[in-house]
Amino acid sequence: MGRKYAIIGVGHVGATIAFSLVTQGLADELILIDKNQKKARAEQLDLQDATARLSSHPKIKIQDYSELVNTDILFVTAGNIHALDNASGNRWAEFEYTREIVKDIAPKIKNSGFNGVLIDTMNPCDAITQYLQKEIGLPNSRVLGTGTFLDTARMQRVVSEKFEVDPKNVSGFVYGEHGESQFVAWSTVTVNGLAINTLTSKLNLDLEELEASARSGGWDIHSGKGYTSFAIATCAIKLSLAILDDAKLMCPCSFYNAKYESYVGQPGIIGKNGVESLVTIPLLPEEEQKLAISAATIKEKFATL
């Protein structure tokens, strides 16, 4: 049986995901849905033109929610990126727009009979992902957000540049909100297998400065090109492949934490059912406190939905 993907919202992120799925031969079927009919049709035609030069030939359809009934992975990437233009680092600036989007699309997703796994990239990611889950009614495990998967990648890049290593040689996690209350759990971070805390003392590095640089990474990109797309699309596709391959991949993303009664960025095991389990890594007391504060921030905002 082929792999069937759908994308709701084919703006910068959605179109990048679609392009990657098609050019990498990852999708056998792809459904594109957007409020702008002309945009959806244009993306469909552009991708179909590309297939004449590719080794794969996926079926690409548009604007049909009924196709979601047997879709494996649904990406929800809709939003209003221009709401962030004067947001000064506040992803909640998209809140009013994405809330209305969920009100519109959630009943359509639910009525379609979709029973796959939903991956959300919308902002504010944690609260909107939880809102989608609530409105659609799928199990918590089958609705997840990219959350701090991207923020962790940004931390890996910043640290790798300081130590002149491959970013994949940096491990560890960013926890909490995909937003300003996120934090790097430095107690989990290693470089080439060595705890970063033991290395920074020797090199006189400032962890707070590194964390600030990682946190501002997305805004540096946004200020330069008006949006982010490549890294978030890569994170979303990575999660989808872990699900379809039943990879049991450990990575951070946004999913429900019963202790905090909220979606929040944290490490989990990703497999065929979505989020298979939470990975509880011992944190320092001050890190535990930061996580509690970040989760409370998300929960408070979610209550206003």
CATH code of the domain in which 274 resides: 3.90.110.10
Q: Enumerate residues 6+ apart whose C-beta is below 8 A from 209.
A: none
| Single residue among 89, 118, 145 that ends a domain in this structure | 145
Contact 297, 181 (CB under 8 A): yes
User: Half-sphere exposure (CA, 13 Å, Cβ side) for 305?
Assistant: 26
How far is it, in rounded angstroms, from Cα 204 to Cα 229? Answer: 34
Which string of b and e fits 268-286 if b means at least 16 CB within 10 Å?
Answer: bbbbeebbbeeeeeebeee
Residues spanned by the domain of 238: 148-303
Surface-to-core class of residue 160, CB atoms within 10 Å of its CB (0-12 exposed, 13-18 middle, 19+ buried)? middle
Tokens 């805390």 sit on residue: 197
Q: Are residues 155 and 127 in the same domain?
A: no
Q: What is the CATH number of the domain that holds 105?
A: 3.40.50.720
Q: What is the per-residue pLDDT for 29?
A: 98
- Note whether 213 and 230 are same-domain residues: yes
The predicted structure's pLDDT at residue 8? 98
Buried b (16+ CB within 10 A) or exposed e, 36-70: eeebbebbbeebeeeeeeeeeebebebeebebbee
**Does 111 lie in the same domain as 208?**
no
Alpha-carbon distance of 96 to 288, in angstroms, equals: 30
What's the mean per-residue pLDDT of the chain?
Answer: 94
Q: 48-74, pLDDT tens digit by residue?
A: 999 999 999 999 999 999 999 999 999
Q: What is the pLDDT of residue 79?
A: 85
Handedness of CA 77, 78, 81, 83 (dihedral sign): negative
Q: Which of 145, 180, 211 is the last residue of a domain?
A: 145
Q: Are residues 60 and 92 in the same domain?
A: yes
Residue positions in the annotated binding site? 9-14, 34
Orientation of helix 37-50 relative to helix 12-23, angle to 10°: 20
8 & 133 share domain: yes
The pLDDT value given to residue 82: 64
Instruction: Answer yes or no: do 90 and 191 share one domain.
Output: no
Check whether residue 130 and residue 190 sit in a common domain.
no
pLDDT value for 249:
98
Summarize pLDDT for 270-285 with one digit per residue, the tens.
Answer: 999 999 999 999 999 9
What per-residue confidence (pLDDT) applies to 85? 59
215 with 139, same domain: the answer is no
pLDDT of residue 90: 63
Phi, psi of 3 (to 5 degrees): -95, 125
- The annotated binding site for NAD(+) is made up of 9-14, 34
pLDDT, position 34: 98
In the chain, the number of structural domains is: 2
Tell me, what's the pLDDT at 65? 98
Distance CA 170, CA 13 (A): 26
pLDDT tens digits, one per residue of 8-60: 999 999 999 999 999 999 999 999 999 999 999 999 999 999 999 999 999 99
Query: Are residues 273 and 134 part of one domain?
Result: no
pLDDT, one tens digit per residue, over 60-119 is: 999 999 999 999 999 999 987 766 555 555 667 788 889 999 999 999 999 999 999 999
Q: How many residues does the chain have?
A: 305
Question: Which of 145, 178, 197 is the endpoint of a domain?
Answer: 145
Span 207-216, average pLDDT:
91
- What is the reported pLDDT for 188? 98
Given this model, what pLDDT does residue 305 score? 75
Strand partners, 212: none
Q: 233 forms bridges with which residues in the sheet?
A: none
Calculate what percentage of the chain has a pLDDT beyond 90: 85
Q: Does residue 261 share a domain with residue 165? A: yes
* For residues 119-143, average pLDDT: 97
More confident residue, 181 or 304: 181
The mean per-residue pLDDT over the stretch 128-135 comes to 97
Q: What is the pLDDT of residue 33?
A: 98
Residues 227, 132 within the same domain: no
11: Cβ contacts below 8 Å, ≥ 6 apart: 34, 77, 78, 79, 81, 227
Residue 88, C-beta contacts closer than 8 angstroms, at least 6 positions apart: none
Res 211 pLDDT > 90: yes
Instruction: State the catalytic residues.
Output: 178
* Same domain? 129 vs 42: yes
